[in-house]
Amino acid sequence: MYWNQEAECMSRDRLQELQLQRLKKTVERVYNSVPHYRRAFQARGLDPGHIRSLDDLKNLPFTVKQDFRDNYPFGLFTVPQHEVVRYHSSSGTTGKPTVVGYTRNDIATWAELMARSLVSGGATRNSVVQNAYGYGLFTGGLGVHYGAELLGAAIIPISGGNTQRQVMVMKDFGTDILTCTPSYALFIAEVIDEMGLKMEEFKLKAGIFGAEPWSENMRHQIESKLKIDAIDIYGLSEIIGPGVAIECSEKCGLHIFEDHFIPEIIDSESGEVLPYGEKGELVFTTITKEALPVIRYRTRDITSLTIEPCICGRTLVRMEKVTGRSDDMIIVRGVNVFPTQVESVLLEIGETEPHYQLVVTRVNNLDMLEIQVEVSESMFSDKIKRLEELEKRIFNRIDSVLGISAKIRLVEPKTIPRSEGKAKRVIDNRQI
């Protein structure tokens, strides 16, 4: 099922023609109205006339998060303030947040992409969509909201939190589509269980989960606990919000809406563009945005692209599930570790609960990684010996898969903080 078959199944030739035409317009737009871009282009001896083919994109300068900070709040906008109808912002953990803005047309584009995403994830106009992404400056809530309304589904704008009420509403309103972060979905499953309810009492069919990395094993956990299809949705504020890419029912890669965003994969070190199939940093250029077009934005997300045809019929390029951001990666004694890799190992062993946290400390100049993971009630009250055995097994598996010796700490059920939005997986206590 498609929302916009013409756009989602367009021939690659036609798509590239459209991309080039839109790219030229975007480049002219930013060059003529944003001093930052004009300066960056001129520093490379470039002007909009240099874009003659899609291949010329690789010569344009990158845009990075710092450029948003340096031009805070509206310096990268291409329209006067009266044309902006909405602001959002991403929660900067350090320094100023990133501010993004939308014209009326941008909001319409976003709703279109979210309608496509919801349909790809299994929603129809008869759906009841429970939207537990946070409403507010975060793009998740309102992004999904407008898409669901355009689709004609009934949206429940419940936002994140108050989980018992979420469960009650889910049951009583007959929610069939849940939208929230994967970590929150897991928490909802836990509360359903605590309330003594069974999934058979719900109409839930699918969940559209994103905004944070989650492993394939985490998907299986969520699918079996909630008895649904769990679909991955990707996006970021700087580009538009949720709805940049979405999985189809094949669940093998996320289709990127290339008629609006051109993706590239680059080598993070050299900045060189990598061919299809190779893993690297994902970079996006928006080609239809009005208020805030972005040229070659470095997402810091690690993935690869493929244009192998997909069984679903969409011709759009697919990106591999994002396993992590380069900023989330911790380097412990020289070994690169992504939280999702640890997650995958823990869930594969399967004797712990899917709630974990990584704590990094530095003792006598040596990095120490402690993996805290919850065990079930029954396991916790079991013999010490069994717990020690499990610790040992996790230690060995982490050592052989990730090449790192970590301290494993099995903790009591429900002691790791639950998240209602993006989960905090790493606590880095190193003073570097």
Residues that bind ligand DLL (CB under 6 A): 90, 133, 139-140, 210-213, 232-237, 241-242, 299, 301, 322, 325
Give the shortest CB-333-to-ligand DLL separation in angstroms. 25
The answer to whether the beta carbons of residues 410 and 391 sit under 8 Å apart is: yes
Give the shortest CB-321-to-ligand DLL separation in angstroms. 7
191 CB burial (10 A radius; 0-12, 13-18, 19+): middle
Neighbours of 416 (CB within 10 A): 19
| CB nearer to ligand DLL: pick between 20 and 255 | 255
| CB nearer to ligand DLL: pick between 31 and 253 | 253
Neighbours of 302 (CB within 10 A): 21
Give the shortest CB-114-to-ligand DLL separation in angstroms. 10
Instruction: Find the helix packing angle between 35-43 and 12-33, rounded to 10°.
Output: 110
Q: What residues have CB less than 8 Å from 164, skipping those under 6 apart? A: 191, 195
| CB nearer to ligand DLL: pick between 242 and 293 | 242
Give the shortest CB-140-to-ligand DLL separation in angstroms. 4
Write out the H or E segment, with its range, that includes residue 398. helix 384-402
Cα–Cα distance measured from residue 243 to residue 234, given in angstroms and rounded to the nearest whole number: 6
| CB nearer to ligand DLL: pick between 20 and 221 | 221
| CB nearer to ligand DLL: pick between 64 and 411 | 64
106 CB burial (10 A radius; 0-12, 13-18, 19+): buried
Give the shortest CB-116-to-ligand DLL separation in angstroms. 14
Cα–Cα distance measured from residue 5 to residue 24, given in angstroms and rounded to the nearest whole number: 25
> Quick one: tokens of 238?
């700087």
Q: What residues have CB less than 8 Å from 237, skipping those under 6 apart? A: 88, 89, 90, 98, 100, 139
Give the shortest CB-126-to-ligand DLL separation in angstroms. 23
398 CB burial (10 A radius; 0-12, 13-18, 19+): buried
Q: What residue is closest to ligand DLL based on CB?
A: 210
Give the shortest CB-64-to-ligand DLL separation in angstroms. 12
| CB nearer to ligand DLL: pick between 259 and 301 | 301
Q: What residues have CB less than 8 Å from 395, skipping those under 6 apart? A: 405, 406, 408
| CB nearer to ligand DLL: pick between 323 and 357 | 323
| CB nearer to ligand DLL: pick between 132 and 406 | 132
| CB nearer to ligand DLL: pick between 410 and 419 | 419
* Alpha-carbon distances of 179 from 93, 221, 240, 304, rounded to whole Å: 24, 16, 17, 25
| CB nearer to ligand DLL: pick between 31 and 138 | 138
Give the shortest CB-194-to-ligand DLL separation in angstroms. 26
Give the shortest CB-235-to-ligand DLL separation in angstroms. 4
CA 281 to chain centre: 14
**What DSSP string describes 26-65?**
HHHHHHHH-HHHHHHHHHTT--GGG-SSGGGGGGSPPB-H
Give the shortest CB-71-to-ligand DLL separation in angstroms. 17
Phi-psi label, residue 95: left if phi above 0, alpha if psi -120 to 50, beta otherwise: left
Cα–Cα distance measured from residue 204 to residue 121, given in angstroms and rounded to the nearest whole number: 13
| CB nearer to ligand DLL: pick between 41 and 422 | 422
Side chain identity at residue 39, one-letter code = R
Give the shortest CB-234-to-ligand DLL separation in angstroms. 4
* Alpha-carbon distances of 235 from 72, 142, 209, rounded to whole Å: 21, 13, 11
